[in-house]
Amino acid sequence: MGRCLPSSTVALATFCMLLPLAAGWSDFKPTTPRATARRGLRLRSGSRPWQPGLAASSECDYDVVVIGAGPAGCSLAALLAAAKNPPKVALLSSKADQRWIPNYGCWTEEWAQLDAMYAARGVPGLMAKGVDSQWPDTDCFFGEDADGKLASEPEGNARRTLGRAYLRVSRAGLKRLFYGDDSSRAYDVIKEDALGAVVGTNVFAPYGSVRLHPTPTELTLAASQRKLKARVVVDATGAESRFTIRDDRDKEGYQIAYGLECTVAGAGVTDTHVGDYARSKMTLFDYRSEVWRTTNGLSESKVIKEPTFNYVMPLSQDVVFFEETSLVANPGVSFQECKDRLTARLASQGVAITEVLEEEFCYIPMGGAVPRRGQRLVPVGAAAGVVHPSTGYQLGRCLASNVDVCAQILDELQAPAASFDPDGAAGRILGRTWTPQAIRQRNFALFGGDFLMQQDVNGLKGFFSGFFKLDVGMWAGFLAGWKDLPYNEFHAGWAARIVFGVVFLTKLPFNVAFSMVRAIVGYTLAEGPDLVQSVTPLLGEPAPFSASNDFKANAAGDRRAKNEAAVMCGFATGDETGDAGKQ
Ligand SMILES: Cc1cc2nc3c(=O)[nH]c(=O)nc-3n(C[C@H](O)[C@H](O)[C@H](O)COP(=O)(O)OP(=O)(O)OC[C@H]3O[C@@H](n4cnc5c(N)ncnc54)[C@H](O)[C@@H]3O)c2cc1C
C-alpha cells in the first residue's frame, strides 16, 4: 500500500515537477563564485601547457565537459584536445582509469578508414596501436550444402568464406591512444561521476543536480557535490544513459552474448583448426545447431526458436575467443543458455575448454528512437543511439560520428561567450550525428532489426545465406551503415536502399523472402511511414535536429512565479535567487 500524502502536498509536488519543464527554469539561481571554485576537485592536468584558444568564458570552468569515459567520451575528448585551437575540456568519470571491458571487433577496411580520419585530425595510431589481432579472411556456417543451398535436413556443413579481413580492437591500446596518461593528456580528467538523472525534457532529479543557465550548463559532481559549469555538456554515459531521453525503448531488442577467452584441448584441436574453425581466419557466424541442440540439457525447440550463433577469434596457438551470441531478441536470451549452448557446440566438434582466461557478458540494447529533440545535454556514442539497430555494431559508427560532433562543437564555441546559445548549439551538434539522411538510413536498419528479432534459426540462416550472396559493397555497407564508413554509397539514399532491398529479396530463399514482404507490410501498418520514407522520395525527410530548439521561443517563462514557488517550496531563499519577486 502506498503512503498517503496530504492533498496540499500532492498539489505542491505536482506543481514543482511541472515548473522546471519551461526552459530557463533553473537559471534563477546563479552559483556563487565560491561554489564554482575548483578547490577540492580531483583534477589531473596533462603536462601540455594550457593554451587558451577558445578559452572557457569567465563564467565557465570549461568549454566542454564530457560525462563518461568509454570509447565515445574518450575519443571525443582526444579529438577536441587535438584541435588546432583546442577548447578547454574535462572528462568526468569515477571509473576513468578503469580498463574497457568489451572485446570490440571490426572489419579491417572500416578500421583503416577510421585510422585515416583520426590521423587527419591529430589523433593518429588507430591501426598501429589500436589493434590486438587481425585475420585476413572471415568464415561463416549457415547450414548450407556445398552448392550454397540451404539444406533443411540434415543441416549442411559448407563453409562460406567472405573474402574480407577482420580485426579485434586492442581495448588497452585504444584507450591509451585516446586517454593517454596523466603526464601526456591534453584535457582534464575529473574522477567523479556527474550527479542526477533526467526525468523529463531538460528536467533533472534531484532538483538542482543539472542546471540550465542561459549560457552555461551546470553539473553537480556526485561525490563532492561541487558544481562545474561548461558551455557544452556532452553525455557519453552509454546505452542506458541517465542524462538523455530516448523514446520507444520498449521497442528495443537486446544482443546478448556469452564470451570466453580460453585454452582448448581435444580431438578436434589441430595445428590448423579448432573444431571446424580455421585458425587462420575469424569465424563471424556459425548458425548450425542440429548436432548439438538436444545435448547438455538443452531444449531443442528453444534453440530453434531463439537462435544463437558462435563468433570465433583464434588468438594464438593456445588461446581462442568464442562468443555464443543472440543477435537481437526481446526479451534477451539468458547468458546461462548461451554458455550451455557454447559448451554443447564445442563438444560436438571435439573441443573442450581447459582454462578460462576471461569471461565476457555482452549486453547491447539496440533500436528504439533517436534522442528526444530539444535536450540541452548532447549525447554521443551509445547514449545517442548510434548502435546499428540490426547488428549491434557500434564502435566504428561512434568513432566516425564523433569526428562530426567535434567539428560542430569547435564551430559553436567560436560564438562570443555572451551570445552563446547552448540549446541551439546542442541541437546543431546532435544534428551532425543524426542528420535527416542518417535518420532515414537508420529507419531502414530498424526494420531489419525488427525482422531479425522475429526469425527462428531457419529464418536467420536463410537471411544471412542470402545476405552474403550480395556483392561485398552492398553487405559491407549495410553492416557499417554510417556516412564516411566504407561502402555507404550503397545505402546512403532512398534509391540505393530500394535497390539493395530488391536485390536482397532475389537472393533469399523463397520462404524468407515471402516472410520479409509480409513483415514490410505489417511493420508499416504498425509503426507508421518511417520505412516508406526511408526507401521512397514520397514523404520527404525527417526534420533536422538543428531545428529542435524551438521550445526556446518561451524560454524564460514567468520567472517571477517560478522563483516565488521555489522559495515557497523551500528549494531556494530569496537571497539565493536574487530575483524572487521580480519579473
Ligand atoms: C561485452 C560487450 C561487447 C561488445 N562488443 C562490441 C563490438 O564488438 N563492437 C561494437 O561495435 N560494439 C560492441 N559493444 C557495444 C558497446 O557497448 C559499445 O560499442 C561501446 O562500449 C559504447 O561506448 P560508449 O562510450 O558510448 O559507452 P560505454 O562504453 O558504455 O561507456 C559509458 C561510460 O560512462 C560512464 N558513466 C556512466 N554514468 C556516469 C556518470 N553519471 N558520470 C560519469 N560517468 C558515467 C560509465 O562508467 C562508462 O565508463 C559491446 C558491448 C559489450 C557490453
Cell of 320: 581462442
Give the residue range(s) of CATH 3.50.50.60 domains in the chain.
Answer: 36-99+175-246+373-433
- Using the atom order of ligand 1, give the atom closest to the CA of residue 257: 1
Q: Which atom of ligand 1 is nearest to the CA of 169?
A: 8
CA distance 355 to 338: 18
pLDDT tens digit sequence for 159-210: 999 999 999 999 999 999 999 999 989 999 999 999 999 999 899 999 899 9
Residue of 362, 386, 388, 482 to mutate, ligand 1, most atoms within 8 A of C-beta: 362
**Residues comprising the chain, all counted:** 583
Whether 178 lines ligand 1, by a CB cut-off of 6 Å, is no
Interior CA angle at 494 toward 493 and 496, to 5°?
65
Spatial distance between the Cα atoms of 563 and 278, rounded to a whole number of angstroms: 69
Q: How far is the CA of 18 from the centre of ligand 1 (A)?
A: 33
Look at strands 188-190 and 89-92 and give their pairing.
Answer: parallel
Q: How far apart are CA 552 and CA 533, in angstroms?
A: 29
Hey, what's the cell of 96?
576513468
How would you classify the pairing of strands 62-67 and 227-235? parallel
Tell me how far apart the alpha carbons of residues 86 and 122 are, in angstroms, rounded to a whole number.
Answer: 11
Please give the Cα distance from 81 to 121 (Å, whole number): 10
DSSP annotation of 390: T
Please tell me the distance between residue 170's alpha carbon and the centre of ligand 1 in angstroms. 15
User: Dihedrals φ, ψ of 208, to 5°?
Assistant: 90, -5
Confirm if 289 and 229 have CB atoms less than 8 A apart: no
Which amino acid residue places its CA nearest to atom 53 of ligand 1? 362
Helix, strand, coil content of the chain in percent (nearest 5): 40, 20, 40
Q: Is the CB of 198 under 6 A from ligand 1?
A: no
Verify whether ligand 1 is closer than 6 Å to residue 258 (CB atom): no
Whose Cα sits closest to atom 1 in ligand 1? Answer: 362
* Residue 189 near ligand 1, beta carbon < 6 Å: no
Look at ligand 1, atom 8, and give the residue with the nearest C-alpha.
104
Q: What is the pLDDT of residue 34?
A: 28
104 closest CA partner among 398, 335, 332: 398
Per-residue cell: 163: 573474402
Residues 456, 457, 462, 466, CA torsion sign = positive
Question: Ligand 1: does its nearest atom lie under 6 Å from the Cβ of 138?
Answer: no
In angstroms, what CA-CA distances link 42 with 45, 93, 226, 428? 10, 11, 11, 32
Strand 131-135 and strand 166-169: the pairing is antiparallel
Buried b (16+ CB within 10 A) or exposed e, 349-386: bbbebeeeeeeeebebbbbbbbbbbbbbbbbbbbbbbb
Beta strands 203-205 and 89-92, pairing class: unpaired
Smallest CA-to-CA distance from 194 within 62, 78, 30 is with: 62
- Residue whose Cα lies nearest atom 6 of ligand 1: it is 104
- CB-ligand 1 contact for 384 (6 Å cutoff): no
Q: Is residue 361 within 8 Å of residue 349, measured between CB atoms?
A: no
67 lines ligand 1 (CB under 6 A): yes
Output the nine-digit C-alpha cell for 543: 526534420
Measured by CA distance, the residue closest to atom 7 of ligand 1 is 104
Q: According to the model, what pLDDT value does residue 148 have?
A: 82
pLDDT at 33: 28
Q: Which atom of ligand 1 is nearest to the CA of 384?
A: 26
β-strands 319-329, 253-265 pairing: antiparallel
**pLDDT given at position 123:** 98
What's 82's DSSP letter? T
**371 Cβ below 6 A of ligand 1:** no
Ligand 1 pocket mutation, candidates 175, 312, 395, criterion most atoms within 8 A of CB = 395
Distance of CA 172 from the midpoint of ligand 1 (Å): 14
The H or E element spanning position 561 is helix 559-569
To test ligand 1's pocket by mutation, which of 75, 97, 100, 104 has the most ligand atoms within 8 angstroms of CB? 104
Please report, as a single letter, which amino acid is at residue 577. Answer: T
Ligand 1 within 6 A of CB of 72? yes
C-beta separation of 259 from 381 below 8 A: no
What is the CATH T-level fold of the domain 36-99+175-246+373-433, as seen in this structure? FAD/NAD(P)-binding domain (3.50.50)
Q: Beta strands of 378-514 (E only): which ranges?
A: 378-379
Query: Residue 71 CA: which ligand 1 atom is closest?
Result: 25
CA torsion through residues 365, 370, 373, 379, sign = positive
Is the CB of 481 within 6 Å of ligand 1? no
Q: Does ligand 1 have an atom closer than 6 angstroms to the CB of 362? A: yes
Tell me the per-residue pLDDT of 434-490, one tens digit each, with 9 for 90 and over. Answer: 999 999 999 999 999 999 999 999 999 999 999 999 999 999 999 999 999 999 999
Q: Which CA distances in Å does 582 have to 364, 558, 560, 578?
A: 49, 10, 5, 9
- Span(s) in the chain for CATH 3.30.9.10: 131-169+253-366
- The pLDDT value recorded for residue 556 is 54
Alpha-carbon gap, residue 54 to 88, rounded angstroms: 7
Q: Which atom of ligand 1 is nearest to the CA of 393?
A: 11
Whole-structure pTM value: 0.87
Q: How far is CA 14 from CA 10, 20, 28, 245, 315, in A?
A: 6, 11, 20, 21, 58
| pLDDT for the residue numbered 571 | 62
Exposure string for 180-204, b = 16+ CB within 10 A, e = fewer: beeeebbbbbbbbbbbbebeeebbb
The predicted structure's pLDDT at residue 5? 31
Q: What is the pLDDT of residue 1?
A: 33
186 alpha-carbon distance from chain centroid = 25
Ligand 1: centre distance to CA 238 (Å): 5
- Helix and strand numbers (H, E) in the chain are 18, 22
| Distance from Cα 398 to the centre of ligand 1, integer Å | 11
Between the CA of 71 and the centroid of ligand 1 the distance, in Å, is 7
> What is the spatial distance between Cα 52 and Cα 69, in angstroms, rounded to a whole number?
24
Alpha helices (H) in 99-212, listed in sequence order? 108-119, 126-129, 171-179
Ligand 1 centre distance from Cα of residue 543 (Å): 29
CA of 329 from ligand 1 middle (Å) equals 19
> Which cell numbers hold the place of 478?
549495410
Give 276 Cα–ligand 1 centroid separation in angstroms: 32
Is 68 close to ligand 1, i.e. is its CB under 6 Å away? yes
Does the beta carbon of 70 sit less than 6 angstroms from any atom of ligand 1? yes
H/E element holding 496?
helix 494-507
Q: What residues in the chain have per-residue pLDDT under 70?
A: 1-58, 152, 548-560, 562-563, 566-567, 570-583
Question: Does ligand 1 have an atom closer than 6 angstroms to the CB of 382?
Answer: yes
Name the fold adopted by 131-169+253-366: D-Amino Acid Oxidase; Chain A, domain 2 (3.30.9)
